[in-house]
Chain A
Amino acid sequence: MSGNQPNRIPDFGRIGRDEPLRFTFDGKAYTGYKGDTLASALLANGVKLVGRSFKYHRPRGVFSAGVEEPNALVALREGARREPNTRATVAELFDGLVAESQNRSPNLKYDIQSLNQAIARFIPAGFYYKTFMGPFANTRLWMFFEKIIRKSAGMGTASGEADPDRYDRMHAHCDVLVIGGGAAGLSAALAAGEAGARVILVDETPRLGGRLNQDVYKIGDLSGGEWVEQTIAKLTALPTVKLLTRTTAFGYYDGNLIGAVERVSDHLPEMPVHLPRQRWWRFRAKQVILATGATEQPLVFGNNDRPGIMLAGAVRAYINEYGVLPGRRAVIFTNNDDAYRTALDVMNAGGAAVAVVDARKNPRSTLIDHTRGKGVTVLTGHAVVNTHGHFELQAVDVAPIDGDGAARRLDCDLLAISGGWQPNVHLSSQTGAKPVWNDKMNCFLPGTPKRPEASAGAAAGRFTLAAVLSDGHARGTQAAALTGHSLDREVKLPRVDAETPAPSEALWEAPDPATGHPKKFVDHQDDVSADDVRLAHREGYVSVEHLKRYTTLGMGTDQGKTSNITGLAIMAKLRGQPIPAVGTTTFRPPYTPIAIGAMGGTERGQHYKPRRRSPMHDWHQERGCEWIPAGLWDRPRHYPLTPNETLRQAYVRETKQTRQSVGICDVTTLGKIDIQGPDAAEFLNRVYTNGFAKLPVGKARYGLMLREDGQVYDDGTTSRLGENHYVMTTTTANAVAVMAKLEFYLQAVWPDLRVKVVSVTEQYAAIALAGPNSRKVMQKIVDIDLSDDAFPFMACGPCHAVTDAIRARLFRISFSGELAYEINVPSDYGRFVWDALMDAGAEFGIVPYGLEALGNMRIEKGHVAGAELDGRTTADDLGLGKMLSAQKPFVGKTLAQRPGLTAPTRKKLVGLVPVDGKTALPNGSQIIELADRDKPRPVKMIGNVSSNGFSPELNTPIALGLLEGGLAREGDTVLVAYPLKNLYIPATVRNPHFVDPEGKRLHG
């Protein structure tokens, strides 16, 4: 029953007529069946107008039945799941589907922008190119017009909301990957699978079988569809074969890696909670069989874009696969035999085949004779030169190709066109195998393989079913054999009727009609006409790559699947050269558009990268800290006392309390590298600028590392725990890189050194305790004497923390400039020891301090950190020149002595305070001379501010910066300039050691 679906044909198609599905298109309700695509359901309902064209807003209808569709782009679903630019020809229908047309306003029939057709001559090819590149580029005028152009030259609009769906990642290995599940792919998979190879077969559609579902064939005693079902059953029974439908192999990469996206739930009304929307597959295959089929090419003639003009093979697909007859009266326009099948299938489905218009002069074949025998008019040596109708096709004008254009009119509501089939060489071309033009077949064939791959069937230019089946079998057998699998018995292929088609003849562009010069579209999606190609040629564009960019030919979401070759051929004709001389366009992944969400997979939002947490993380959270990311780590930035306490109030309070009594800070994130071996001392001597060989056991030393080019790389404290045992600390930011560098030196440069290194960052919780009362607090939990004599500044050693069960390492080192300790305990005890220190410090009002106070205290002390170690500073720039040992070579020493790195004019570390004692000196500010304040810009920039904070002791904002002349300018007033915010702040240059410059507190 066709019911309210006027174009549905009884008893045709592979749709589920017992499962009607309701859907809406532009708000109007329709019914289709399970197994329909949106396009087949619309055609069944007699909807011909489905979109407006990109540039001229011309009415457009469904053009194809597959991924090559240039016209029928729609938005699917609503709300956050709204997906624009979806091809209706591959969108599976589900109950409740909501679809909308695009690129029209206010609706498809009354589209204001279609006026563009009237002004089309003002926006020829190259309009965008010229406007972008021309004198108006980047001007206000262009920006104004750009908005209007973007709206009218529109694609669909995205939802603007976050993608609510889930995506997954899959990895698979196999002997033979078969891409494409048509006759060739099924035949290949069966041959390889029966030989025992591990086979994966993927197909982009929901239904295996390819053209066997869309054409009428006999294979042995079976229909094409029955053979498909039988073969699927055989494949499913093989334990080493896996079949994946709705899976598009979009890219062919190095190492025989194939990327594919499986659409798991796109065809379902609601996403099931246990399934992702899509899966991103990475297949590693020993052998790949490209059974990717071919794409039918259109013909180019006047007004060739009206709704009702469709590829001939697509018409057969709608009839045989979907049970839809897209028109009652069909004209077939072709340059090859294959389209004659369309005439027969239309008649078989109850329609009329008005005529076959064949561009060839005198083609002879049994198929043509058979068609004539059915009473179909065959006009050879003819072409369609113009069409009539507006929202749907009403008639075509047909004229002899060599005549004067005098035409006869044929009334019809369907024009099925075929310019021959182009093998889908995309994937093989992606590997660098350049497609080869075949003059006899008028198509590109896959180039010589550069990888372990082989094309099979139509993808290899084999267009008769017998050839496709035997080619698939041969390729499958061969691929299995190459992976060590073969069958010891002979396989007999099913009998298929022989076909002897007459050769096709190229017809790249039909002649103009006797009067008028209608537009002939080459690229429907981008509205590029044959005249546009001619214009590009006249303006001197000779390469196909230039042609593409100038005219936008092939630049749409369909990537020119039905337009690149025609464009190329017209260009070649204009240049009077053969097609291969003009070139092929380069195919790049993806083969069809893929959702960005699928690329991200599960790595989105917080899951984009791992988060590292210290063992004391929960304590900080319970205390209500504000977090700040430091590399992959979460670190407490500050601990607000009340919700109203600002960041500055909090860090100033934390600084004050630490300097007055005692503060505690989580420093687990610093890199910790365990270094052991008889040559450990020699190793450290090479990588650090200062000496470590003579460091006594039980002592720590601040070390400085340079890059090989002589700039400062990293700093940290390294302690000698035993004769051949050190532990190095690095900055949080460089922990990973320093570790890799040390491994590189040991493995690749100095393999003779007997040293092993291992990162122990995550094995130890590290807690810093700073302030005049830190000794009293620490002494309560450790079992060694902390008196200044017994454990002086820079001492280190083993101890127990809290109980004899917890072995700890204690270091008397200081970043804050106060009397301070750092204790390392095994990570599992971190929280326990932290709690013990909080208890022990309660009587002294112990304060936890975060990264902000930590930074503030180091600025008060003039210690450099990441902001100063920016890869452009030398040791001398930072006031650390004394750390470059003259006694020994070390990494970076030679190049650090270059004139450019030792010039007296270099910027050097200074301290800065605002003259008014109030205004903060923003990081990133430039420093200029006070005298240059009112001079015309630009003026000389003599330095910059790198870090800033507030010193409670000095009661003023402070900053560190790099300034030409450095401390020679101590006492001078300079201008800190931040023009973006119009800030010009006079500041005094001073010694960067703002607090306790003599370092008395360290030794307290």
Chain B
Amino acid sequence: MFRFTCPHCGERDVVEFSYGGDASVVVPDLAAGEEAWFDAVYQRDNPRGPHVEYWHHVAGCRQWIRVERDTLTHEILACGPATGRMRPETGGEGA
């Protein structure tokens, strides 16, 4: 059970968030062609290790945030707003 540092609210339990998918995917321009949209909608890496993902603070500020999580160890490495700079997790109450 993770705890994230929401850049808007501070450290919170994962139960306040809902998962929003792979944040390394760049949503293409609406006018982009089929190939770009196909990649964005269907193509996913399945990394073993650090992975940036979206989480929605639905039971908090309702902001989408990005979380870098190690898929192997479940360690939370960094958190940040939906766009902009990520901040490394300082550890808090442990990984």
Q: Which residues of A contact B (CB under 8 A)?
A: 173, 253-257, 282, 284-286, 432, 450-452, 686, 708-709, 740, 743-744, 747-749, 751, 889-891, 893-895, 897-898
Residue of B nearest to A709 (CB): B41
Contact partners of A890 in chain B: CB under 8 A: 30
- Are B93 and A286 closer than 8 Å at their CB atoms? yes
A744 to B40 alpha-carbon distance, docked (Å): 15
Closest CB pairs A-B (n = 10): A256-B94, A889-B30, A748-B82, A747-B82, A889-B31, A257-B1, A894-B37, A254-B74, A452-B94, A749-B27
Q: Across the interface, name the chain A residue whose C-beta is closest to B28.
A: A894
Q: Which residue of A lies closest to B54 (CB)?
A: A748
A897 partner residues in chain B, CB cutoff 8 A: 34
A897–chain B nearest beta-carbon distance, Å: 7
Which chain B residues have a beta carbon within 8 Å of chain A's beta carbons?
Answer: 1-3, 14, 18, 20, 23, 27, 29-34, 36-38, 40-42, 54, 56, 58, 62-64, 73-74, 76, 81-83, 93-95
- CA gap between A743 and B58 in the complex, in Å: 11
Of A751, A889, A895, which is within 8 A of B34 by CB?
A895
Whether B1 and A253, one on each chain, are in contact in the complex, defined by CB atoms closer than 8 angstroms, is yes
Which residue in chain B gives the minimum CB-CB distance to A895? B37
Given known A-B contacts A743-B64, A744-B54, A895 and B93 have beta carbons under 8 A apart: no
B82 touches A891 (CB 8 A): no
Of A451, A894, A898, the contact of B94 (CB 8 Å cutoff)? A451
List chain B residues, Cβ under 8 A from A450: 73, 95
* Bound CA–CA A285/B82 (angstroms): 29
A256 touches B93 (CB 8 A): yes
The distance from the CB of B65 to the nearest CB of chain A, in whole angstroms, is: 9
Tell me if A748 and B30 are in contact (CB < 8 A): no
Question: How many angstroms between the C-alpha atoms of A749 and B14 in the bound complex?
Answer: 23
When the two chains form their complex, are residues B30 and A743 in contact, meaning their CB atoms are under 8 A apart? Answer: no
Instruction: Write out the residue numbers on chain A whose beta carbons fall within 8 Å of the beta carbon of B63.
Output: 743, 747
5 more A-B residue pairs beyond the given contacts A894-B30, A894-B31, A894-B33, with a C-beta to C-beta distance below 8 A: A256-B95, A451-B94, A740-B56, A747-B64, A895-B38
Classify the secondary structure of B's interface with A: loop
Q: Point out the residues of chain B lying under 8 angstroms from A432, CB to CB.
A: 73
Query: Chain B nearest CB: distance from A17 CB in Å?
Result: 46
A681 to B37, CA, bound (A): 24
A689 CB to nearest B CB, Å: 11
Could you tell me if B37 and A708 are in contact, using CB atoms closer than 8 angstroms? yes
Chain B residues within 8 Å of A889, by CB: 29-31
Q: Is the beta-carbon distance between A286 and B1 smaller than 8 angstroms?
A: no
A residues less than 8 Å from B64 (CB atoms):
743-744, 747-748
Contact A743 B56 (CB under 8 A): yes
Residues of B within 8 A of A257 (CB): 1
- The residue from A255, A284, A743, A891 contacting B95, defined by CB atoms under 8 A apart: A255
- Shortest CB-to-CB span from A432 to chain B, Å, is 7
In the complex, how many angstroms separate the beta carbon of B20 from the nearest chain A beta carbon? 7
A338 to B57, CA, bound (A): 55
Q: Are B41 and A895 in contact (CB under 8 A)?
A: yes
Which of B1, B33, B83 touches A751 (beta carbons < 8 Å)? Answer: B83
11 contacts between A and B (CB under 8 A): A254-B95, A255-B94, A256-B94, A284-B3, A284-B93, A452-B94, A708-B40, A709-B41, A747-B63, A747-B81, A894-B34
Q: A747-B63, A748-B64 are in contact. Are A708 and B82 (CB under 8 A)?
A: no
Q: Which partner residue on chain B sits nearest A284 by CB separation?
A: B93
Q: Which residues of B contact A898 (CB under 8 A)?
A: 34
In the complex, the answer to whether A255 meets B3 with C-beta atoms within 8 Å is: yes
